[in-house]
Amino acid sequence: MLDLDNLKGVNDTYGNRTGDQVLRCVADRMAKAVGEFGLVARIGGTVFAVLLPGVSRSKAGTLLENAGRAVRVPLEGVDVHLTATCGVVSSTVAKHWSGLLSRAEAALLEAKISKRRGIYFHRGSEPGWEERRQHERDTRVEAEEKVAPKAAA
């Protein structure tokens, strides 16, 4: 799942019609970036699903990086700087789309929490993954809290 960052600013500044044009342009660019290797579909709001059947993790990373770069290319007539955040799940035995989408959405949420822009691969099946992610979140929050009072001074 790939989510566009900061599209709300386009709608607020230029209107929903322009926002829709931007979405179509971004979809076209992403489709070109993944080429014959995959399929891009908007699944709601600013979220797109990118299906890459039979593609290795490494190749998927490359294709999704290309899609992310395509999103960042300036759009004619619209002063906006779009980026995208991507949550990725892979499976060789998945039997249900809903499970894949759910794990991709979890990866996307983790990516949005920990960083914007970029690609985040779902690692929920790794032993100790949840504990490591919670520790990373706690460490980040603690570091942010230490910096926040200094920034306000």
Predicted pLDDT at 128: 63
Query: Over 60: is that where the pLDDT of 96 sits?
Result: yes
49, two tokens: 């699903």
Which candidate, 118, 104, 120, 28, places its Cα nearest to that of 65? Answer: 118
Query: Over 60: is that where the pLDDT of 103 sits?
Result: yes
Q: 31 phi and psi, to 5 degrees?
A: -60, -40
Query: Over 70: is that where the pLDDT of 94 sits?
Result: no
Query: Over 70: is that where the pLDDT of 110 sits?
Result: yes
Residue 120 pLDDT level (bands cut at 50, 70, 90): confident
Q: Are 84 and 69 in contact (CB under 8 A)?
A: no
**56: Cβ contacts below 8 Å, ≥ 6 apart:** none
Which candidate, 82, 79, 78, 69, places its Cα nearest to that of 119? Answer: 69
**9: Cβ contacts below 8 Å, ≥ 6 apart:** 80
Residue 88 pLDDT level (bands cut at 50, 70, 90): confident
85: three-class secondary structure by DSSP: strand
The predicted-structure confidence for 69-87, as pLDDT tens digits, reads as follows 888 877 777 777 788 888 8
78: three-class secondary structure by DSSP: strand
Torsion of CA 59, 107, 6, 135, to 10 degrees: -120
Residue 14 pLDDT level (bands cut at 50, 70, 90): confident
